[in-house]
Amino acid sequence: MALKGLDIFKLTPKKNCKDCGCPTCMAFSMKVAQGALSIDKCPHMSPEALATLAAATEPPMKTISIGEHKLGGETVMLRHEKTFVNKNLFALDLCAGMDDAAIDAKLAEADKVDYERIGERMRVECVYVSVKPEHGAERGAAVVKKAAATGRDVILHCCDAALAGDILKAAAADVKVLAGANADNWEAMNALATEHNLVLGVCCKDLSDAHDTIEKLEAAGNKNLIINICAESIKDAFSFTVQIRRAALKDGDRTFGYPTIVNVARLAPEDYTMQAALASLFTVRYGSVIVLGRMTYAEALPLFGLRQNIFTDPQKPMKVEPGIYPLNGADENSVVAVTVDFALTYFIVSGEIERSGVPTNLIITDAGGYSVLTAWAAGKFSAGSIAKFFEENDIASKIKSRTLILPGKVAVLKGELENKLPDWKIVVGPNEAIQLVRFLKDYK
């Protein structure tokens, strides 16, 4: 259980600390308990006290790294309680028993899904490669190398320690996670993961066995772990992920304080619709790496959108980059529309403009991520802010058209905007985005 401010105060020396700027140790202790300061900012702490406090003030879920991505570090069960910290990753399921043509086709299909949404790159981040003894080390290493060549992080799933060792001799640099430790092989797998500096995946077919195995690994000094949910049924897989997260966050059992891998491709073989549905379920509750049998735009668009919504701070609005967005092949002579940088507003408005088929330059202004009326009420979307944006971004030299469509809900800005942009014809648009299709066609 994490220490509170008073508990920390008992372990801190009773001196002022000039380095952290706190007038008293009590104030310093409270800030540490709240997560505002790191305990190592106090130079008067003994190494023993630092070690005790550092362990006690860590998040109940450990943060681990897979390549450039971080997993874990969560402190709450539900997003609305505070926020989720590190987004889950999606992985593509491969087996060394597949032929090269099938592997190439699956990787090529996933490569097509690579786009940017609200400043975040949307693509499959990992490849989950399963190798069994009948496949052989040479074949396993070849598939690992092929997967790594795509620029994705490779998770090697192999429960045979000798086979895994042979694969790593040839392809250790291409692997980020070695998944396959269990109650029988944990010592050999731990030695391999430690030797090659890999995250070690602990197989979880039974919660009790997994708990015992993790305890042994921690006693051996390895806390760079991830829990691989190996349940046979959807019901058990969901139950395990929820119980593991609850045990760590609610019950204070740090043995279960690790991220999880959930392979939905194995829970619903060849049923890609069910896999996408399960991936959405485990994105919310509580898969850290979710493995799918394929990734096409049909699966990607809803899954990546859901992930971005879930792992965005609910107290911070999602914003798009301010600028000019040419839609429907718009050029410098096309009509201009203006709106705010709130992501939802952008997607709704741009979608309706695209549906109209009318070439339009959509200008997104910096409105703090608020919706149109909220930004207007806060003074962030006004005639002055629009005119300033036009001036700072030299819109007049980039666009020859002098027709500007204003959102209907802020029609009150028309007169003032005409004064600030005298060269522009200000047209009041419809109140609702859905009315843009007819409005633009009729205006054209």
Q: What is the CATH number of the domain that holds 38?
A: 1.10.15.40
User: Token pair of 249, please?
Assistant: 């966050």
Same domain membership, residue 142 and residue 204: yes
pLDDT tens per residue across span 89-146: 999 999 999 999 999 999 999 999 999 888 789 999 999 999 999 999 999 999 999 9
71 located within any domain: yes
Phi and psi torsions of 111, nearest 5°: -65, -30
pLDDT tens for the chain, 444 residues long, are 445 444 544 555 544 454 444 445 667 666 766 666 666 777 666 777 666 666 666 788 999 999 999 999 999 998 888 888 899 999 999 999 999 999 999 999 999 999 988 878 999 999 999 999 999 999 999 999 999 999 999 999 999 999 999 999 999 999 999 999 999 999 999 999 999 999 999 999 999 999 999 999 999 999 999 999 999 999 999 999 999 999 999 998 999 999 999 999 999 999 999 999 999 999 999 999 999 999 999 999 999 999 998 998 777 778 899 999 999 999 999 999 999 999 989 999 999 999 999 999 999 999 988 999 999 999 999 999 999 999 999 999 999 999 999 999 999 999 999 999 999 999 999 999 999 999 999 986
Residue 102's pLDDT is 95
Same domain membership, residue 369 and residue 300: no
Same domain membership, residue 48 and residue 91: no
Same domain membership, residue 228 and residue 135: yes
DSSP per residue, 127-149 = EEEE--TTT-HHHHHHHHHHHHT
What per-residue string of b and e applies to 251-287 under the rule 16 or more CB within 10 Å gives b?
eeebbbbbbbbbbbbbbbeeebeebbebbbbbbeebb
315 located within any domain: no
pLDDT tens per residue across span 23-52: 456 676 667 666 666 667 776 667 776 666
Residue 6's pLDDT is 47
Strand stretches in 234-386, DSSP E: 260-263, 289-292, 323-327, 335-339, 360-364
Same domain membership, residue 231 and residue 204: yes
- Length of the chain in residues, anyone? 444
Same domain membership, residue 332 and residue 425: yes
58 located within any domain: no
Residue numbers of the domain that contains 367: 323-443
Element (H or E) spanning 175, and its range?
A: strand 175-181
The domain that contains 366 carries what CATH number?
A: 3.40.50.11600
318 located within any domain: no
Same domain membership, residue 364 and residue 306: no
User: Token pair of 247, please?
Assistant: 């045990």
Same domain membership, residue 258 and residue 117: yes
316 located within any domain: no
Report helix, strand or coil for 163.
Answer: helix
Same domain membership, residue 167 and residue 149: yes
387 located within any domain: yes
What per-residue string of b and e applies to 143-179 under the rule 16 or more CB within 10 Å gives b?
bbbbbbebebbbbbbbbbbebbbbbbeebbebbbbbb
Fill in the amino acid letter for 177. Answer: V
Same domain membership, residue 280 and residue 139: yes
Domain boundary residue among 277, 310, 343?
A: 310
Question: Residue for token digits 């809900």?
Answer: 409
Same domain membership, residue 179 and residue 39: no
Residue 5's pLDDT is 46
303 located within any domain: yes
The domain that contains 93 carries what CATH number?
A: 3.20.20.20
Same domain membership, residue 69 and residue 45: no
Domain boundary residue among 310, 339, 360?
A: 310
> How many domains are contained in the chain?
3
204 located within any domain: yes
Q: Is 109 exposed, middle or buried (0-12, 13-18, 19+ CB in 10 A)?
A: middle
